[in-house]
A and B are shown apart, each in its own frame.
Chain A
Amino acid sequence: MDIFILHLINGITLGAMYALVATGLSVVFGVLRMVNFAHGDLFMLSGYLLVFLYVEKGVPYGLAVVFTVAGMVLVGFLFERIVIRPVVHRTWRIQLIATLAASIVLTNLAILIWGTTPRQAPTILSQNVFRVASVNISYQRILLLVVAVVSFLLLTWFVQKTRTGKAMRAISQNREASVVYGLDIHGISSITFGIGSGFAALAASIITPLYSVEPTVGAMVMMKALAAVILGGLGHVRGTIYAAVLLGITEALFAGYVSYPFRDAAAFIVLIFVLLLRPQGIFGRKVSI
């Protein structure tokens, strides 16, 4: 039983991380109708930014998180301007190549700058644990859950209540109509990208102290997040969050009871089975790209 709880808690932690990363991907897909294959690399860059601020510069952890997120929102704006805007009206093939190329460039840039040795950033919260039954849970995991829940609530509020948030929904529902009524598609896309990048940074700032960061960490995180986005239904943010948690738990249970080395396959096995039964995802409606 204790072992089960341990795996479950691991799974929820993983799920929360995937959900934060996948939310960014999903919001961006909703508004721009394109998958940003460099999204995982924004996560990876965030991890290094945190290590730089917190470990190398000695900025207090809380402040380092805030700076990391703020910094990555700016990187998101820049990324949208440099990589996304030139291809947003092109075919999906060109968009795929542009964002994939950006991903390769960022990964290799990270190797050049920081090398391939994983970097760690342990915090007081990650080093201290409390016991439930005979299971140790670090406070960092609780922090991750709290941050995930709070940031999802904030995002929901933003999208439902603010003018910019409503425009994000409008653009994702009907792009042609958005042109007709003069919605600022470029500006909103830019903000959306900042939000997506900010979510990746939030995930990375809290997860890096639990694991570590290395240049290729983005690829796997990206694949899992993409699986969650597809499972949840493309562009359907709440569905994405549920799917991410489901994937995290599946992966942890698979790692614990079936095969640890093949844990990464679990998410994709689920993905393949679900898509066989429901091609539009669990919660999704049909979209075409």
Chain B
Amino acid sequence: MDGNSPLLLLSEVCASYGEIHVLKGVSCTVHKGRITCIIGANGAGKSTLLKTVFGIVPARAGKITFNSVEIIHHQPMSILKMGISYVPQGRCNFPQMSIRENLEMGAFTRKDLKQVAEEIERLYDEFPMLKMKDREMAGNLSGGQQQILEMAMALLLKPALLLIDEPSLGLDPRMMEQVFETITQIKDRGTAVLMVEQNAKKALSISDYAFVLELGRNWLDGSAQSILNDPKVRYRYLGL
């Protein structure tokens, strides 16, 4: 495969909930070693886009390829096994289980339990907060800590691509800082990230490339820097 072919490619993807058409032909690309960010107003279809990639919402038209393989009609389980993990918007853990048990569940599809145990230790080194609260129930953690736990759970499947939906939602500024730092760490481990964010300014500052969606369609895209400096974007999404 040539070095420039994208890891994930969406081409003219349409998706709907019953009669409500949400994605009306969205295209985007995600490359290895990058954080790609999707911004847009409430209801633009950002979450739907990630759900469509992960196979939770079926695409009605268009093409989605991952490593040049068509994945459009695959079930979440099969997409997971191909190397895409997903951290949805809102809480996605097992609140009455300890952090360690949650991590074990994150690695449930893996059969190499020894390596999993080693990797949990490595994650503990990388995210000391998790180690400190090892036996704590996930439901007792703060929102930001739960967000970091969920990303760690998703990483245990060693995905080539991590989909993250609104990681900073409902967090205080200090926690938000930590979550974005964690996402940068994830990129540095070699996992590509496709992230949806409301906090456009902060998200763009850690991203490499960005797409702006409006009402289920592409509106703009470019390097994160150029989007951040675009006067239209600054006016509409950054309140500047």
A interface, CB within 8 angstroms of B? 163, 166-167, 169-170, 173-174, 176-184
Contact = CB atoms under 8 A, between A and B. Distances in A.
Contacts of B56: 179
B56 to A, nearest CB: 7
Interface string B80-111: 11000011100011111100010011101100
Nearest to B156: A181
A180 B162 CA distance: 12
Given A166-B105, A167-B105, A170-B105, A179 B76 contact: yes
A167 B108 contact: yes
A169 B76 contact: no
Contacts of B88: 176, 180
A8 B153 CA distance: 50
Nearest to A185: B77
B94 A169 contact: yes
Closest 9 A/B residue pairs (Cβ):
A182-B109, A182-B80, A177-B92, A173-B94, A170-B94, A170-B105, A183-B108, A181-B106, A182-B77
20 contacts: A163-B104, A163-B108, A166-B105, A167-B108, A173-B97, A174-B93, A174-B95, A176-B88, A176-B92, A177-B92, A179-B76, A180-B76, A180-B87, A181-B109, A181-B153, A182-B76, A182-B157, A183-B108, A184-B108, A184-B109
A173 B96 contact: yes
Contact of B92 (A163, A166, A174, A182): A174
A108 to B, nearest CB: 39
A248 B81 CA distance: 49
B137 to A, nearest CB: 10
Contacts of B105: 166-167, 170, 178, 181, 183
A166 B106 CA distance: 12
Nearest to B80: A182
Nearest to A285: B96
Contacts of B87: 180
Contacts of A169: 94, 96-97
A155 to B, nearest CB: 17
A177 B80 contact: no
* Central interface residue in A178, A181, A182, by most chain B CB within 10 Å: A181
Nearest to B56: A179
B101 A166 contact: yes
A166 B80 CA distance: 20
Contact of A174 (B80, B94, B154): B94
A185 B130 CA distance: 27
